[in-house]
Structure 1
Amino acid sequence: MLHLLGVNLPDRKLVSTALQYFYGIGSTTSNKICDQLSIHKQCKLVELSEAQINSLSNVLANMNIETDLKRQVREHVMHHRSINTYVGRRHAMSLPVRGQRTRNNAKNAKKLNGRWVQRRMFSS
């Protein structure tokens, strides 16, 4: 396993797939990173050289991923809650934020949005 910027990446996976283990990197972003570093699409992490791994870590270090991105999302939610916008009130009530139905299918929103409320109440 390759340990890169606090994340364990599996050796036997394709580079574009392994990059998706980082929070904030999806398939499109991982493909752009591979194109930028001229890494072949069928290349696995084991096959990368030290220079390629170093350049990959440099590119990832300049991106806003993992803890920085989570902190930024949390700050956005708390900003909306503090200025009392509609979105902030929906987050505070653990309801869907982006116009989804609440009659039947709000279970995931209640789990996810309620997590912010509970975490902030205990930490304050």
Structure 2
Amino acid sequence: MLHLLGVNLPDQKVVHIALTYFYGIGRKTAERICHQLSIHRQAKLHELSESQLNRLSQLLTGMTLESDLRREIRQNVVRYRQIGCYRGRRHQQGLPVRGQRTQNNCKTAKRLNAIAELILAASTIGIDMAFGGRLLKGPAR
């Protein structure tokens, strides 16, 4: 396993698939990164040279990924709620935010926004919370 920027990447995976292990990188972005670094579409992670790995690492450090991206998204939601805009109110009520129907199909949004609400409340007072066997931590004490 290759440990890159705090994320373990499996050696036997194709590079553009392995890059999706980073929070904030999807398939299209991963393919764009591989094209930018001239990495063959079917190249596996263990086949990359040291210089290619260094260039990949430099490119990824310039991007907003993992905990920085999560923090930025959380701050945006808090800002929406503070200014009282429509999106902030929908987040606060636990309803779909981007115009989806609510008559039948909002069970997932209600569940996800309710969990996000609990995490946000816990992080403001510094409590660790456990959901479904996963421990969700508040800020460091």
TM class, shorter-chain normalised? over 0.9
| Inter-partner Cα distance in structure 1 for 2:17 and 2:116 | 29
SS state of the match for residue 3, structure 1? strand
What is the CA distance between 1:82 and its match in structure 2? 0.5
What is the CA distance between 1:120 and its match in structure 2? 2.0
| Inter-partner Cα distance in structure 2 for 1:65 and 1:44 | 22
| Inter-partner Cα distance in structure 2 for 1:121 and 1:24 | 24
User: What is the one-letter code of the residue matched to 1:121?
Assistant: A
User: What is the one-letter code of the residue matched to 1:81?
Assistant: R
What is the CA distance between 1:20 and its match in structure 2? 0.8
Say yes or no: does 1:110 pair with 2:110: yes
What is the CA distance between 1:46 and its match in structure 2? 0.7
Say yes or no: does 1:32 pair with 2:5: no
* Match in the other structure for 2:81: 81
Q: How does 1:1-124 map to 2 (within 5 A)?
A: 1-124=1-124
What is the CA distance between 1:116 and its match in structure 2? 2.3
User: What is the one-letter code of the residue matched to 2:51?
Assistant: A
| Inter-partner Cα distance in structure 2 for 1:61 and 1:25 | 13
- Counting aligned pairs with the same residue, the percent is 57
| Inter-partner Cα distance in structure 2 for 1:70 and 1:21 | 15
Q: How many residues align?
A: 124
| Inter-partner Cα distance in structure 2 for 1:30 and 1:83 | 35
CA RMSD of aligned residues (A): 1.0
Gaps of 5+ in 1: none
Deviations 1:68-120 (A, max 9, x none): 11111111111000011111011001110111111211111112211221112
Gaps of 5+ in 2: 125-141
Deviations 1:35-62 (A, max 9, x none): 1111111100010111111111110000
Structure 1 runs, 4 residues or longer, greater than 3 Å off: none
Structure of greater relative contact order (alpha carbons < 8 Å, 6+ residues apart): 1
SS state of the match for residue 84, structure 2? coil
